[in-house]
Structure 1
């Protein structure tokens, strides 16, 4: 009778051991996945629903305002001159103040936190002042972002 009892629990014990090993491998995989993800992520604490961060354009320091409503990264004429950005042709822009004329350019590289993006289409807006840069969808479509409370997490897509 004891032999019969051992035989019936033996498959259960084997299943439990296999289940334990699967769980251990899942935990290790998730820890490695989340660890790699955090190395490629930037968490920004928002203020009144807007998000900003420091970074660089072509290795020059800038201040980014994230703008998911902007089609392109947008820089001022002043900043474009400082960065020696190439004029790739005139373009019309729809702005909050109406239609404006600017010019297209390309940014070799932008960085913010651990995020590095290359060859980003941008627009130079001569009506824009200062050194703030609107970080629009020409850059943001190359990252994943999620919002939780006042925090926005931006993760590099590999």
Structure 2
């Protein structure tokens, strides 16, 4: 027979395991909440009619319009950046998407001058809105995995901001 302390050790072990499971569940819950606060457009609201496609984006807590989308069929996260001339893709994302590095050249950014590589995107989608054959920069200076959606993608869209919603419309 086991010693009297054996059931006590089992109880302590189960107690510690219960706390670890609770901590893991809390981590997953709050990680999901923070992700939704950064990107409230993980499921993009779209409308399609005979004359246009409309996408509605909600502003995040930092005041940015961030949305999930697709580049060449791969899931990405994009931020609308009307101050960017071209789409700017972090190097790590470009590698994951297997985008080819073209000619390198310097560009002026809010953080100074950085050398980027030219690339092309065959298809970019946000909800029901799809754009084709777009120039982009592969930018090694972008720290996270968010793609900056610049004016070369936005130039043919109507942008309407009302309250905390940005409407993108393609005719």
Query: Normalising by structure 2, what TM-score?
Result: 0.68
Alignment match, 1:104: 118
Alignment match, 1:42: 55
Deviations 1:98-119 (A, max 9, x none): 0000111110110001110001
Partners of 2:136 and 2:164 in 1: CA distance:
28
Contact 1:39 1:114 in 2 (8 A): no
Partners of 2:85 and 2:50 in 1: CA distance:
26
Shift of 1:129: 2.4
Alignment match, 2:21: none
Structure 1 residues 136, 37: closer, same or farther in 2, change over 3 A? farther
Partners of 1:130 and 1:147 in 2: CA distance:
26
Aligned length: 124
Larger RCO (CA under 8 A, 6+ residues apart): 1
Larger radius of gyration: 1
Structure ranking higher in helix proportion: 1
Deviations 1:116-158 (A, max 9, x none): 000111001112123210011110112111011111100123x
Structure 1 residues 147, 78: closer, same or farther in 2, change over 3 A? same
SS at 1:80 equivalent: helix
Partners of 2:149 and 2:50 in 1: CA distance:
22
Aligned residue among 85, 92, 116 for 2:130 = 116
Alignment match, 2:9: none
Structure 1 residues 35, 76: closer, same or farther in 2, change over 3 A? closer
Contact 1:79 1:130 in 2 (8 A): no
Shift of 1:37: 7.0
Extract structure 1 runs of 4+ deviating beyond 3 A.
none
Are 1:95 and 2:109 an aligned pair?
A: yes
Structure 1 residues 73, 85: closer, same or farther in 2, change over 3 A? same
Partners of 2:96 and 2:82 in 1: CA distance:
25
